[in-house]
Structure 1
């Protein structure tokens, strides 16, 4: 846990949530139990850059199943798929944790105040990732005494970010890659038709009780998992009939859905490859004195987290939770540069270092070696490779 959330009192919800960024700025990341400092980093090494990929926070269902008791928007203030107050708080807490870990009191990578030459952030063009980034930066770049905006209920400074449009020219997240979408849809359709035939009674049961057209569109069984998860988190209960399906086998079906983006080398290059290439390029630029940015942040989705890990041949065993986070840390030791990768599966969970396949199963890997072992999943010309 990070800290206990106090009552919001009479303050307006959005302002109050952002103001909470100030409540735990002295948090000790090591003692909080949310960072595992393992990873064989040589004594005397200096952290010089970090890349943070995080999933958005808690959200409303993207769509209700037709027979849901909570099938209308009155049950979900804000709208379908939108970030919730809980999601805002989760991201504020994550921002606070990042400052505690990488700020002056720990690694010293980030200054106390925002600096455009030190920090850069981007997000996909979706409301919940945009709002997540804003909330995260409220926790990361808290307002300092005597500076910024200090209205009675607002102690927060706006910080810039970039929204990456969902079009074929997105080389950061690789959104709207026609070839990837075609391949993923094909594999998902084939796999879920197979799963339906292997679990015919179960799929029929799910359709009869949910109202989804699962027998005609088998992948909709993953929508059911998603909505049931949100109902359980937000309403505290799911229908009795769903206990035969949730969390298993629905969670396993969702994992099959996520796997579809990484079944072949070409798919890994088109899905997880763009973000991985973005990170490696920025790290190389820093080592050559062409970049001053110390932290890059990417507000994205569970598929983003899964695809990057899959591109590294380390796919997660469970679906990435809200605020699931990947940290790519670049260290300098004398004249050498190496990196470490940490993964935090969800809110209030420990971030742990990952062994890097292809690098001797070590927790650290030289930047040069890392680029070599990932070369096959880094797109050369994404726009051209995405053309169907």
Structure 2
């Protein structure tokens, strides 16, 4: 079976991704001083979320943690990430945890919640009054989350019909049709050997991820994988994040809320008048804070990088992180984007198109403005204008019309019945009889 070079095909219609392999440290004079930072990181090593039907390891006896759960390797990866963050932000954060300095958010998934806790264990070793046990060198630190179906910022799971329509349009573009056609041999091959119908890159991504995890566990892969693993399935799987944020509108609706949330932190820190917060009490707390951590998934990182035109078609590995940092140099403010994909390698400094490595704050804001939604919900649901305040989900316009119309009809029916019975009501309840004569 001969498979095509998908990377070259994609190059012909993709944006120019800039990935500068330049190491960077927080004390580099050329880059100035970090004064605030947003860190988005992927969870650590996990078990497969599911195996394909013909997988020889499609049994929980091989995965005692359960499907899609963090492993001990993953816990250590996140702990080491926390230790690395401590070194990087030691000048920003005190050794004693305080909510005034840091805020942690996670998607509502076991492996990301546990990854957040493991990284915090490395970031904040309990000291002094925060030592609550002589045996346990750990302290509980709050991790904030919301249900995935309501999370438009980090899990990107909140419903967005406009995004779905735009994604469908993108998949019908000639260049995307050609790209998908180049994967036909691979899809047919996977369908033949996995026992399931493989028709899209989402399933390719799931299969590649499963094979990758099995190799990390030193499980021998079936012989049929020799011609497709690690490539071309690895390269094909990596395309999923570029396709999910291919158009400007996809970028705006998928990764825009996360980028908006991060930049609002910087705007509050700098007193930028372009952002007026709704919650003044919360805004005052954010002004004090210096680091914001987001525990997410490979989709979170891949979509964010591609939205900034920085994705290099390589799946973000376990415990990798994207750092968007506010820096100060010579009295001016700048923003840098850094990619950390291993605790053993220095991070890479990235350069977004249209700016320099040390991007002036105002320039960065201007360059990212087109993919920042003003009102994400209104853009996602342009035909809905009535909201259910208890669930923050829209009522269907037709349902509202039927409800209002039905109420009016019932009211009119009751009024008509009342008038009818009023007319039928006798004028007298009895007739007075004349007394008999004596």
| TM-score (normalised: structure 1) | 0.82
* Conservation of the 8 A alpha-carbon contact between 1:41 and 1:364: no
Matched with 1:204 is 188
* Conservation of the 8 A alpha-carbon contact between 1:122 and 1:299: yes
Note if 1:260 corresponds to 2:248.
Answer: no
What value does the CA root-mean-square deviation take over the aligned residues? 2.7
Alignment counterpart, residue 85 of structure 2, candidates 93, 98, 108: 98
Flag the structure with higher helix content: 2
After alignment, is 176-185 or 76-85 more displaced?
176-185
* Conservation of the 8 A alpha-carbon contact between 1:49 and 1:329: yes
Distance 1:201 1:102, change over 3 A: closer
Larger radius of gyration: 2
- Per the TM alignment, residue 221 of structure 1 is displaced from its structure 2 partner at its CA by 2.5
* Conservation of the 8 A alpha-carbon contact between 1:52 and 1:325: yes
Matched with 1:149 is 132
Give 1:134-145 correspondences, 5 Å limit.
134-144=117-127
Alignment counterpart, residue 275 of structure 1, candidates 248, 252, 258: 258
Give 1:1-388 correspondences, 5 Å limit.
36-37=23-24, 42=29, 45-103=32-90, 108-144=91-127, 147-152=130-135, 154-168=136-150, 170-171=152-153, 174-178=156-160, 179-184=162-167, 187=170, 197-214=181-198, 219-288=202-271, 290=284, 291-359=287-355, 362-387=356-381
Q: How many positions carry a matched residue from both structures?
A: 347
* Conservation of the 8 A alpha-carbon contact between 1:196 and 1:203: no
* Conservation of the 8 A alpha-carbon contact between 2:239 and 2:313: no
Distance 1:232 1:338, change over 3 A: same
Question: What's the CA shift string for 1:108-156, capped at 9, x where partnerless?
Answer: 111111111001010111111111001110110111256422242x110
Question: What's the CA shift string for 1:56-88, capped at 9, x where partnerless?
Answer: 100111110111111011111121111111111
- Per the TM alignment, residue 382 of structure 1 is displaced from its structure 2 partner at its CA by 0.6
Name the SS for the 1:91 alignment partner.
Answer: helix
After alignment, is 176-185 or 50-59 more displaced?
176-185
* Conservation of the 8 A alpha-carbon contact between 2:33 and 2:328: yes
After alignment, is 174-183 or 321-330 more displaced?
174-183
* Conservation of the 8 A alpha-carbon contact between 1:174 and 1:270: no
What CA distance in whole angstroms lies between the structure 2 residues aligned with 1:323 and 1:357? 26
* Conservation of the 8 A alpha-carbon contact between 1:277 and 1:378: yes
After alignment, is 39-48 or 265-274 more displaced?
39-48
Distance 1:83 1:181, change over 3 A: farther
Distance 1:371 1:44, change over 3 A: closer
What CA distance in whole angstroms lies between the structure 1 residues aligned with 2:348 and 2:330? 25
What CA distance in whole angstroms lies between the structure 1 residues aligned with 2:213 and 2:220? 10
Unaligned runs of at least 5 residues, structure 2: 1-21, 273-283, 383-438
- Per the TM alignment, residue 346 of structure 1 is displaced from its structure 2 partner at its CA by 4.1
* Conservation of the 8 A alpha-carbon contact between 1:39 and 1:364: no
Distance 1:204 1:89, change over 3 A: same
* Conservation of the 8 A alpha-carbon contact between 2:201 and 2:240: no
Name the SS for the 2:145 alignment partner.
Answer: strand
What CA distance in whole angstroms lies between the structure 2 residues aligned with 1:186 and 1:72? 39
Distance 1:218 1:383, change over 3 A: closer
After alignment, is 241-250 or 186-195 more displaced?
186-195
- Per the TM alignment, residue 169 of structure 1 is displaced from its structure 2 partner at its CA by 6.0
Question: What's the CA shift string for 1:168-197, capped at 9, x where partnerless?
Answer: 463455432423245446656989976665
What CA distance in whole angstroms lies between the structure 1 residues aligned with 2:151 and 2:233? 35
- Per the TM alignment, residue 208 of structure 1 is displaced from its structure 2 partner at its CA by 2.0
After alignment, is 112-121 or 247-256 more displaced?
247-256
* Conservation of the 8 A alpha-carbon contact between 2:154 and 2:294: no
Name the SS for the 1:68 alignment partner.
Answer: coil
